[in-house]
């Protein structure tokens, strides 16, 4: 579904150029859920943003569903296959656009027909229901806003979702609801996930495999089962597991 090969991403121009990602390589199979973890500033969001075409300075190879992505822009076909959900549902929705307007606009942009039926179906799919259709963001809780952001991402009927800390701006009780929703949606729609989280227990719960990043480099790719068992091959991974506050691998006493 996704292949990233020797991806290097930088910001700015020489002599002030900062390289945020150095030679990252990983692949996602169709239907897989793949996590990216690592300390703050290690380049996780940068990888997602580069895949989504939001950063101009990159080299290497990004292939989505067999199609090579060009350096400067992504076309409509790309966004029909790949959608992104951001961390902050407060910042990602326009305050003066109703839920209906947001979803209708996205559906029209994708050239979809039967807009009314699709909006109702999307709201059902994310557990909101049609009663939320004409609300504005300020009339929604954080969790409800994130459900709207997920509905907007699903409107294009994508196959790959790029999820950047999709629950970390939310209250702990709401986090589990949104994670369960994402897990259900993946099953129902056969989606592939590339998910960033600083919370290892979220990745352990949601992902099949993960990459551990440190200072812009992938130091290890491991099965999530190893993370759940508290086993990393690289010392940095072990350090991260041990440092992860509140995370208790089941395999340990
Ligand atoms: N627009 C930008 N211009 C310049 N440097 C940037 C920009 N965006 C990110 N960076 C730098 O790139 C590096 C990687 O940042 P990135 O946001 O990918 O980290 P992250 O792993 O997502 O961290 P966090 O867990 O805090 O979200 C950091 O050093 C950051 O300062
Ligand atoms: Mg980030």
Q: Does residue 99 sit within a domain? A: no
Are the beta carbons of 201 and 247 closer than 8 angstroms?
yes
Identify which of 206, 100, 95 has the alpha carbon closest to the alpha carbon of residue 161: 206
Q: Does residue 195 sit within a domain? A: yes
Neighbours of 245 (CB within 10 A): 6
Protein residue with least CA distance to atom 8, ligand 1: 46
CA–centroid distance, 67 to ligand 2, in Å, is: 26
Q: Does residue 109 sit within a domain? A: no
Longest dimension (CA), the chain: 55
Q: Does residue 249 sit within a domain? A: no
Range of the domain at 195: 2-89+159-233
Q: Does residue 181 sit within a domain? A: yes
Residues 140-161: tens digit of each pLDDT: 999 999 999 999 999 999 999 9
Protein residue with least CA distance to atom 31, ligand 1: 41
What's the pLDDT at 251?
47
d(CA 8, CA 46): 10
Domain CATH number, residue 196:
3.40.50.300
What's the pLDDT at 250?
53
Determine how β-strand 67-68 pairs with β-strand 58-64.
antiparallel
pLDDT over 50 (residue 81)? yes
Q: Which residues, judged by CB distance below 6 Å to any ligand atom, belong to the binding site of ligand 1?
A: 11, 18, 20, 38, 40-46, 198
Residues 99-136: tens digit of each pLDDT: 999 999 999 998 999 999 999 999 999 999 999 999 99
Q: Does residue 97 sit within a domain? A: no
Whether pTM > 0.85 for this model: the answer is yes
22-36, 67-81, 190-204, 215-229: lowest mean pLDDT where? 67-81
CA–centroid distance, 41 to ligand 2, in Å, is: 7
DSSP-assigned beta bridge partners for residue 85? 163
Residue 182: left (phi > 0), alpha (psi -120 to 50), or beta?
alpha
φ/ψ of residue 48, rounded to 5: -60, -45
Number of compact structural domains in the chain: 1
62-66, 100-104, 168-172, 210-214: lowest mean pLDDT where? 168-172
What's the pLDDT at 194?
98
């Amino acid at each position: 579904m996704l292949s990233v090969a020797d991806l290097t991403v930088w910001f700015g121009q020489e002599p002030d150029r900062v390289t945020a990602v150095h030679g990252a390589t990983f692949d996602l199979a169709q239907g897989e859920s793949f996590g990216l973890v690592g300390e703050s500033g290690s380049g996780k969001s940068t990888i997602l943003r580069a895949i989504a075409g939001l950063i101009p300075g990159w080299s290497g190879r990004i292939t989505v569903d067999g199609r090579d992505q060009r350096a400067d822009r992504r076309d409509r076909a790309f966004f029909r296959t790949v959608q992104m959900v951001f961390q902050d549902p407060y910042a990602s929705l326009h305050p003066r656009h109703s839920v209906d307007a947001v979803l209708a606009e996205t559906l029209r942009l994708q050239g979809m027909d039967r807009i009314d039926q699709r909006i109702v179906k999307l709201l059902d799919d994310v557990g909101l229901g049609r009663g939320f259709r004409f609300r504005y963001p300020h009339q929604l809780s954080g969790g409800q806003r994130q459900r709207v952001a997920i509905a907007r991402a699903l409107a294009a009927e994508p196959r790959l979702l790029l999820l950047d800390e999709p629950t970390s701006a939310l209250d702990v009780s709401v986090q589990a609801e949104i994670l369960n929703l994402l897990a259900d949606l993946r099953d129902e729609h056969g989606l592939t996930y590339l998910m960033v989280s600083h919370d290892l227990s979220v990745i352990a719960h949601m992902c099949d495999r993960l990459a551990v990043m440190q200072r812009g480099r992938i130091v290890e790719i491991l099965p999530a089962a190893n993370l759940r068992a508290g086993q990393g091959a690289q010392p940095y991974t072990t350090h991260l597991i041990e440092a992860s506050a509140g995370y208790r691998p089941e395999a340990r006493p």
